[in-house]
Structure 1
Amino acid sequence: MRGNVEKGVAELPAKRATPLRNAAFRRFVTASLISAAGSAMAPLALAYSVIEQGGGTGALGVVLATTTVPTVLFLLVGGVLADRMSRSRLLFLGNLLAAAAQGALAVVVAIGHATTVSIAVCGFVSGTAVAFTVPAAQGAVAQIVPAEQLQQANALLRLPGNAVKVLGPAVGGGVVALSGPAWALACDALTFAVAALLLLGLRLDAPLGVTSALSDLREGWAGFWSRTWLWTYTVAGTVLVAAWLAGFQLLGPVVAAEQYAGARDWGLVQGAFAAGLLAGTVVCLRWRPYRLLAVAVVAGLPLAVPLLVMGWGLPLPWLLLATLLAGVGLDVAIVAWTTAFQQHVPQGELGRMGAFNSVGERLAIPIGYLLTALAAGTWDNRTVLVACAALVVAAAVLNLCVRDVHRINATRD
């Protein structure tokens, strides 16, 4: 069920064929790169938009919450639609909606009429757009690329995105410093619009016929629950992501200010992590493991190491090395998991299964931050970091004890 996609070189021998020979995949990669380039500048521009209109930490927290909440609320709807509609059309509409939201935000910031409410409304629309594009994207890749090329395709999709993560924030900072946040937001809107037009040209067919949306959702939940490897990985991933974000993103900057040189050293740590992600993508381009899901689980274990390094108060070089390894492991885990998911879930269920998986991992963000805030009132930061590392290890080890995890292996040529 590939749809009327632009064909690549299906006639070529498997050893010579690569995803980049497929015109539809090249279009998809280009759209992803353009969109990622704009999105890398957006967080900094958004923060300074709030600051410039007089908002403080509370206002920024409200804006970030209104961006995240609709994604969680509407993901299941997006998953159902991704199995009922043309995924290329859904991606087109999602990117177009994001372009409209960022464009409107750029205008209100440029004319000096931005308020916390107006910024939050635009953020809500952007978060809603994400809810509809995330489930469709994984299914679209599986429609475009043959099963045996999916790992390479997923790695190629991650490569430009990870490169942008290294350069994007610096470019965004320069744009905001020289021209103000409105221009950076306008650039983000433009990249979404260009990506939308590219994605519309894919013309992928809808995986399923039109049936009852509620019936599709019930069947989707039954399919999700029947795949032990899928729901156990989702539960373990929720715990792991919550512990990692709470320890690294929330407590990391605080600990850097206490025992390292503050923002300067934390910037180096973030750079090491981005470099690790990029290196992990390169690894995935060369290495094609057979036990995909087991590799995905094990590759998450290095995320515990930077948390332990900070918790034990080790010097900065150790933290940089640990963070680099964590980045490598995380990217390998993401590519291996995505490939296993695409190869072992039928086309007509990819949207809903992806939505159920994403809801769990996105709920980890507020859960992790809330539990950390509560724990910080009882324990010191170093103890919380060690506890977060222990949760990462426990989630991975317990997941490895699930028999089905070792049965989800790669489809060979």
Structure 2
Amino acid sequence: MQTTVQPPQTTTAAPWRIPAFRRFTSANLISAAGSAMAPLALAYSVIEQGGGAGSLGLVLATNTLPTIVFLVVGGVFADRLSRSRILFLGNLLAAAAQGALAVTVATGHATTLSIAACGLVSGTAASFIVPAMQGAVAQIVPAAHLQQANALLRLPTNTVKVLGPVVGGLVVAASDAAWALAWDALTFAVAAVLLLTLRLETPPAPRTGVLADLRAGWDGFRSRTWLWTYTAAGAVLVAAWLAGFQLLGPLVAAREYAGARDWGLVQAAFSAGLLAGTLVCLRWKPYRLLTVAVATSGALALPLAALAAALPLPVVLAAALLAGVGLDVAIVAWSTAFQQHVPQAEQGRMSAFNGIGERLAIPLGYLVTALAAHLWTPRTALLACAALITAAAALNLCVRDVHRINRRA
């Protein structure tokens, strides 16, 4: 059975009543179920073949680098070709890469180089999948229901993020990393099969060269003040959050709290907040979409400030919960604003430029934080990260254009 999707503006059907959206959501959930286990399995596949921190760093770098290098190319193709076809091929490529990795690990032939090569292919697949997904939702769902659709997409994904690492840890502990990697490959393959029967029309766009499309995309990105200022603020915010929560958080938990046990509770509280934020978005439909996205993203400063001040654990857990709620509300509100205010023919490139802007600062954030750790205590560095997040959100709220990107009837 094939599902051909026409432009959604002519219908007012709720997202779950649209067969194409149910198929798209199912594919997204299934691939997420495998991807949630992948980081843990990838780490232990390196460890099992004798690799250390340097080997793991190389593998993670090769997995991340393509999403920066090829993301713009993926955005151009998402605006020139059928997005459903790109999603199908991207998931199929990821399935092949993870399947090959699972076989090499299972047979004992895995090396750091082979694992890194498979990671490079998986990262390349992701760089084409990400821009295509943003525009695909807007092609499937009517504009009036975009926020609901974005929330419904995140609800099962956030649930999987809570359960996936736990299940992955049990699978790796009971057998080895190869089984978890094989599961990841299988979920990508099943998602590809579901997407194969989804037919999204090619976005209407002038047939020019790839370089001309890139230049036009960059001009469109620069001309939208709200878009590039949000991206610039997001680069600072994402780098400060990841450096603070992923790098400094465990160190402070080890010194000021009960180590891994309490840090696990903090992470669980944050994940629970993400789920709660999704439920909020299913009910609350703010008019000032971009203002809400910017303001709620500032909640990420709360757990970093609480950890920096060494507040009691219940306060830190509450702060992490609120941060999760704020982040998910921000993501849903931002996605809805983006889909409503960027033309279909440009959404792939605009999404790619936004994604690159936010990703480029992450390695720099880790590096600066690592250097600052030699000059400051982890608690002081955490406080600096919280201040950067607050400043980025506050300055972005001062941009007049941000308050003009509101919900369209």
Tell me the TM-score range normalised by the shorter chain: over 0.9
Give deviations 1:159-207, integer Å, cap 9, x for gaps.
0000001111111111111121101000000000110111121111111
| Residue correspondence of structure 1 range 242-281 to structure 2 within 5 A | 242-281=239-278
DSSP-derived class of the 2:285 partner = coil
TM superposition shift of 1:22: 0.4
**CA-CA distance at 1:379 after TM superposition:** 1.1
1:158 aligns with 2:146: no
Following TM superposition, by how much is the alpha carbon of 1:211 offset from its aligned partner in structure 2, in angstroms? Answer: 2.0
Q: Take 1:331 and 1:4, find their aligned partners in 2: how far apart are those partners?
A: 31
The answer as to whether partners of 2:27 and 2:194 remain within 8 angstroms in 1 is yes
Separation (CA, whole Å) in 2 of partners of 1:297 and 1:51:
40
**What secondary structure does 1:54 align onto?**
coil
- 1:205 and 1:6, CA in 2 relative to 1: closer, same or farther beyond 3 A? closer
CA RMSD in angstroms, aligned pairs only: 1.4
Matches within 5 A, 1:287-302: 287-302=284-299
2:178 maps to which residue? 182
What's 2:97 paired with?
101
Q: Distance in 2 between matches of 1:200 and 1:87?
A: 11
Q: Deviation of residue 72 (structure 1)?
A: 0.3
1:359 aligns with 2:356: yes
What is the CA deviation profile of residues 94-143 of structure 1, one whole-angstrom value per residue up to 9, with x for unaligned ones?
Answer: 11110010000000000001111110000111111110000000000010
Residues 43-69 of structure 1, C-alpha deviations (whole Å, 9 max, x = no match):
110011000001111111111011001
8 Å CA contact 2:236–2:388 kept in 1: the answer is yes
After superposition, the C-alpha distances for 1:212-268 in whole angstroms (9 at most, x for unaligned) are 000000000000000000000000000000000000011111111111111111111
Return the alpha-carbon distance in structure 1 between the equivalents of residues 55 and 277 of structure 2. Answer: 36
TM-score (norm 2): 0.97
Structure 2 residue 24 is matched with structure 1 residue 28: yes
Given that residues 6 and 201 in structure 2 are in contact (C-alpha distance below 8 angstroms), is that contact kept between their aligned partners in structure 1?
no
- Using the alignment, how far apart are the partners of 1:351 and 1:371 within structure 2? 31
Following superposition, the deviation at residue 28 of structure 1 comes to 0.4
Whether contact under 8 Å (1:301, 1:329) holds in the other structure is yes
Amino acid at match of 1:102: Q
Match of 1:333 in 2: 330
**Match for residue 305 of structure 2 among 308, 316, 328:** 308
Name the CA distance, whole Å, in 1 between partners of 2:171 and 2:33: 13
Superposition deviation, residue 4 in structure 1: 3.3
Shift in CA distance, 265/315, structure 1 to aligned 2, threshold 3 Å: same
Corresponding residue for 1:63? 59
Report the Cα distance in structure 2 between the residues aligned to 1:181 and 1:289, rounded to whole angstroms.
44
Separation in 2 of the partners of 1:389 and 1:5?
44
Show CA shifts across 1:353-399 (max 9, x none).
00000001111321210110111121111111000000001000000
2:135 aligned with 1:128: no
Q: 1:5 — aligned with what?
A: 5
Q: Are 1:146 and 2:142 an aligned pair?
A: yes
CA distance in 2, matches of 1:145, 1:298: 26
The letter of the residue matching 1:265 is D
Unaligned runs of 5+ in 2: none
Give the alignment partner of residue 168 of structure 2, picking from 165, 172, 183.
172
For normalisation by structure 1, the TM-score amounts to: 0.96
Q: Distance in 1 between matches of 2:30 and 2:7?
A: 22
Aligned to 2:346: 349
Amino acid at match of 1:69: L
Output one character per residue of 1:337-367: Cα deviation in whole Å (capped at 9) or x when no partner.
0000000000000000000000011113212
Residue of 312, 317, 320 corresponding to 1:320? 317
1:411 counterpart SS class: coil
Kindly indicate whether the alpha-carbon contact (under 8 Å) linking 1:7 and 1:23 is maintained by their aligned counterparts in 2: no
CA contact (8 A) 2:159 2:275 kept: yes
Misfit runs of 4+, over 3 Å: 6-11
The alignment-based identity, stated in percent, is 74
Partner secondary structure for residue 203 of structure 1: strand
